Amino acid sequence: MTLRNRAHAGWSATADSVLTVGLALLNVPVLTVWLIGLVLSPVPMLGTDLLAVTTTVVRWRADLERRLGTSAGTAIRRPYHPSPPGTDQGSRRWLRWIITDPATWRDLAWLVPGALIAVGLGLTTLALVIYGMAGALLLPLWLFLGEVWFGYALFWPTANLTEAWLALPQGVVILAGGLALAPLLRKTHFQFARLLLAPTPAAELRLRVAHLTMTRADAIDAQAAELRRIERDLHDGAQARMVSVGMTIGLAERLVRRDPAGALKLLAEARATSTDALAELRHLVRGIHPPVLAERGLEGAVRALAISLPVPTDVTSHLPGRLDTPVESAIYFAVAEALANMGRHSHARSAWVTIDHAAGVLKVVVGDDGVGGADCARGTGLQGVERRLIAFDGTMEISSPRGGPTVMIMEMPCALSSPKI
């Protein structure tokens, strides 16, 4: 990291410390009101409503700390139990669920020590930076004003110009040290918050089981939908054509003795129909698992896909080996869906695909210079891509502001099954 970047990180952490200290001062009042609500909970309406509101505020405060920590580089996951189905917020059943969740009590246990840590580290950061700035600015103020305001001298006692000169290097050193220390102090604050606000090993296991249950259900639904699509394509396409071929050959058998020319014509029609049926079967097979994917791997299949697009598409790949077949198939169809959306909606002039594998994670980036505006919530195609990736513990992120560009980042943990030869 360059000196300029370090300075920027230090100033940013110092500014964030002001927000952190301000939010930490809310912790104790929130806890106090929650305890009042807990004491008054036997009172009908009043105590229950107060407890529900303050418990919601506690969870909101903890979630805000998790988001700040994640944005600062210290990921803190939400550890809460999923709410029971059909539970209305504010109801007694909802309140019982949120009160009996161990994560709620861990949030409450964090409020006071979290506030103390945040205020202590935040004020330390601010004190170092402000004190260093005061020393660094003392000499310019002395030179321009001729004397220093008395309140300023409380920070840097200075009786003459010589002492003001001596304060300058001291202030610069303290300011630089404060800026260098600010990111570390902020990281220490969020590391402490993660001790209580992150899921415990038992909660991690519970969240993992819930995630696997959801992805299994999505995978089963996707597989059932794919089977229905194959069945429909076979029934409406190749099967209907083969039935037509059989009927045509039957008619040709009746005409072969009394009208050989007509029989030959019917046989030619049957051959053309069988050719069309074979083409549909090949197209269907490519939709299940493209032969080019099995022959050339993901890189070659994506390059072949890019060549067939009307928009110039650059493909860059750094795969030192082959991926497992299910992973290759999932990523290939995800890229195909992304490029198809690009061709239909983006009005792009160029597109790009990058494929990288590092530290056990496959990362695929698909982008274009189109009009942007892609949103998972407004289309089933992108939702299908996301469900396909989730089944492999993958993730998908889309950045598509109005006016473009659109960038889709897909990541999936996986290993390389065989190196390239």
Mean pLDDT, residues 38-67 taken together: 78
Beta bridge partners of 352: 314, 367
Closest residue by Cα to residue 121 from 195, 198, 30, 24: 24
Q: Which amino acid is at 410?
A: M
Q: Write down the pLDDT at residue 150.
A: 45
Distance CA 102, CA 105 (A): 5
Residues 213-222, mean pLDDT to the nearest whole number: 63
Tell me: pLDDT of 152 over 50. yes
Tell me the residue type at 13.
A
The dihedral region occupied by 372, where left means phi > 0, alpha psi between -120 and 50, and beta the remainder, is: left
Contacts of 151 (CB under 8 A, 6+ apart): none
Three-state DSSP class for 420? coil
Most confident of 36-45, 257-266, 371-380: 257-266
Cβ contact 99:56 at 8 Å: no
> Residue 390 — pLDDT band, cuts 50, 70, 90?
confident
Report d(CA 421, CA 418) in Å as an integer: 9
Confidence at residue 380, expressed as pLDDT on a 0 to 100 scale: 55
Answer whether residue 151 shows pLDDT above 50. Answer: no
Q: Is the dihedral of CA 189, 83, 379, 279 positive or negative?
A: positive
**By mean pLDDT, which of 29-38, 154-163, 329-338 is the weakest?**
154-163
Helix H, strand E, coil C: the string for 66-89 is HHHHHHCCCCCCCCCCCCCCCCCC
pLDDT score recorded for residue 393:
76
Q: How far apart are CA 18 and CA 35, in angstroms?
A: 27
Q: Per DSSP, what are the bridge partners of residue 316?
A: 354
Average pLDDT, the chain: 77
Please, which residues have CB within 8 angstroms of residue 138's CB and are 6 or more apart in sequence? 148, 152, 156, 158, 164, 167, 168, 171
Average the pLDDT over each of 113-117, 326-330, 342-346 and give the range with the smallest value: 342-346
pLDDT in tens, 160-200: 666 667 777 777 888 888 888 888 888 898 889 888 888 87
Whether the predicted pLDDT of 407 surpasses 60: yes
Sorted by where each begins, the domain ranges of the chain are 3-197, 203-288, 293-419
SS3 363: strand
Arithmetic mean of pLDDT, 37-58 = 74
Q: What is the CATH number of domain 293-419?
A: 3.30.565.10
